[in-house]
């Protein structure tokens, strides 16, 4: 906590003065981000830093595994769904990025039998079900299932493609995709070197971000 306090002090003294004019404009006029970024809660994933962006540039949703729950119309609590709906239907973002990453604990946990002790992780176990289809697909195509490195890395990438499919279950996402006012992108961030790969939906493979047209 002491380091966080010191960090805020450094931010106020050194960085905020450089952002002050832009932030004041955002406060006065409201936020108008063009991008919804759906990333993992992993502490090693840092959207603002890895994309070198300013306040107001992206509406950011982070959860375990950068999963996208399918649309479900009921009166339960749906935090991730609410963020997606708000970004698409209220903020009218033009792009949605689902960004997976290497060494993702959620994807690795798909292959581990997590004990349910005193209901400590009941919500985690339920949430991980959103990765089951990716796990199933990975196991159906990978040759050496004992090669954990390849197994986990492939699962992470395949999971991104399934989360993109889940986005299509949201009525306004589907409508805006069809009328051309919204684009969706699948990205994969490598913790090791900061590289980002994007999913080419036509070629059905990941390639370096710089090689993708408009990141898609």
42 annotated as ligand-binding: yes
Residue 120 CA, distance from chain mean position: 25
User: How many whole angstroms separate alpha carbon 205 and alpha carbon 158?
Assistant: 10
73 annotated as ligand-binding: no
Instruction: Tell me whether residue 177 is exposed, middle or buried, using C-beta atoms within 10 angstroms of its C-beta: 0 to 12, 13 to 18, 19 or more.
Output: middle
103 annotated as ligand-binding: no
Closest listed residue to residue 191, CA positions, set 60, 38, 44, 39: 44
Rg (CA), the chain: 19
Residues at the annotated binding site for Zn(2+)? Answer: 40, 42, 101, 104
Give the residue numbers of the binding site.
Answer: 40, 42, 101, 104
């Amino acid at each position: 906590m002491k380091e966080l306090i010191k960090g805020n002090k450094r931010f106020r003294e050194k960085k905020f003065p450089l952002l002050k004019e832009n932030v004041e404009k955002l406060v006065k006029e409201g936020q108008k981000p063009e991008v919804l970024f759906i990333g993992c809660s992993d502490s090693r994933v840092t959207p603002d830093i890895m994309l070198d962006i300013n306040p107001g540039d992206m509406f950011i949703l982070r959860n375990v595994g950068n999963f996208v729950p399918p649309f479900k119309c009921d009166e339960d609590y749906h935090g991730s769904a609410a963020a997606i709906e708000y970004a698409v239907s209220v903020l009218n973002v033009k792009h949605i990025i689902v960004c997976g990453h290497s060494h993702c604990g959620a994807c690795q946990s798909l292959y581990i039998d997590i004990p349910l002790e005193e209901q400590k992780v009941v919500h985690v176990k339920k949430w991980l079900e959103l990765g089951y289809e990716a796990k199933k697909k990975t196991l159906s195509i990978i040759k050496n299932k004992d090669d954990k490195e390849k197994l986990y890395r492939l699962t992470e990438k395949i999971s991104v493609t399934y989360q993109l499919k889940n986005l299509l279950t949201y009525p306004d996402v589907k409508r805006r995709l069809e009328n051309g006012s919204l684009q969706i992108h699948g990205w994969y961030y490598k913790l090791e070197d900061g590289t980002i790969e994007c999913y080419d939906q036509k070629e059905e493979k990941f390639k370096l971000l710089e090689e993708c047209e408009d990141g898609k």
